[in-house]
Amino acid sequence: MHLPPIGLGTMGIEESNVIETALDVGYRHLDTARIYENERVVGAGLAASDVPREDVTVATKLWVDDLDPERVRPATEESLDRLGLDRLDLLYVHRPRGSYEPSTTLPALDALVEDGLVSSIGLSNFTVDQVATARDHLDAPVAAHQVERHPLFARDAVLADARSNGYPLVAYSPLAGGRVGDVPAVQAVADKHDATPESVAIAWLAGTDGVVTVPKASSRAHLESNLAAADLDLDADDRARMASIDREEELFPE
């Protein structure tokens, strides 16, 4: 699945005008979830925008209590209703927990693709082994895998699997909950480029082969600066410095 290098993570966004502004400044990938309780907000912003619907990838996620096969379709239809859409571009299994059972949940998702309610199926917060199991039970290809990834936390085996199987890794929480500014290596790279640590963190992810990212922002200024980070060119020395960071600070463990 082709995704822009930088999309908009919407967790915590409560005003539709933020979505409309994001689209106005150039975002074309909106990432939400039922558990964020803002699908209506995302849908309202999309509807108010002049950007054509077909130009925007809209992704949402089924929460762990919607993964029983009897709940997959009704839950998806409820998300579509809240978003004001008749089709989802990308539907994720949010976490492989709760009522998730690969042999029954995933065929129910395949049926959504077959019936035209969903274009692509994604996974989120899976291990490499869990992704492999999912591939065994899905007819549709895994279109994307969304995981926590930032300068303080990165599982390279998950990225390697994404690259070898041809789907993008979608990095959430790219700013490590606002902590990237406290990391000396990130600050050093930022100083070198006369940039912010936040821009460096986003550029590091968006410039990694096989990775896209979905930072959250609410103000026009932050929306623009996050999107512009794709143009920040980190050289080999910068990337070596970023690679030297101890990556053990997971913000959202299972």
> What pLDDT shows up at residue 249?
80
Torsion of CA 238, 128, 209, 202, to 10 degrees: -50
Ramachandran sector of residue 74 (left: φ over 0; alpha: ψ -120 to 50; beta: rest): alpha
∠75-61-105 over CA atoms, to 5°? 60
**Contact criterion met (CB below 8 Å) for 174 and 201:** yes
Tokens for 127?
Answer: 């291990």
> What's phi and psi for 121, nearest 5 deg?
-110, 135
In sequence order, what are the residues at sequence separation of 6 or more whose Cβ sits closer than 8 angstroms to the Cβ of residue 182? none
Tokens 């239809």 locate to: 77
Closest CA to 158 of 121, 186, 183, 123: 123
> What pLDDT shows up at residue 248?
79
> What pLDDT shows up at residue 246?
84
Each domain of the chain, given as residue ranges in start order, spans 8-178+205-219
Alpha-helical (H) ranges within 155-219 are: 156-165, 184-193, 197-206
**Contact criterion met (CB below 8 Å) for 64 and 36:** no
Q: Which CATH class is domain 8-178+205-219?
A: alpha beta
**Contact criterion met (CB below 8 Å) for 35 and 60:** no
Edge-to-edge strand ranges of the sheet holding 88-93: 8-9, 29-31, 57-62, 88-93, 118-124, 142-148, 169-172, 211-213
Tokens for 203?
Answer: 């550029």
> What pLDDT shows up at residue 253?
81
Low-confidence ranges of the chain (pLDDT < 50): none
> What's phi and psi for 198, nearest 5 deg?
-65, -40
> What pLDDT shows up at residue 136?
97
Cα of 172 vs its chain's centroid, Å: 5
**Contact criterion met (CB below 8 Å) for 19 and 29:** no
Rg of the chain, C-alpha, whole Å: 18
**Contact criterion met (CB below 8 Å) for 212 and 171:** yes
Q: How many whole angstroms separate alpha carbon 58 and alpha carbon 41?
A: 13
In sequence order, what are the residues at sequence separation of 6 or more whose Cβ sits closer than 8 angstroms to the Cβ of residue 99? 64, 65, 66, 67, 68, 71, 105
Q: Which residues are catalytic?
A: 36
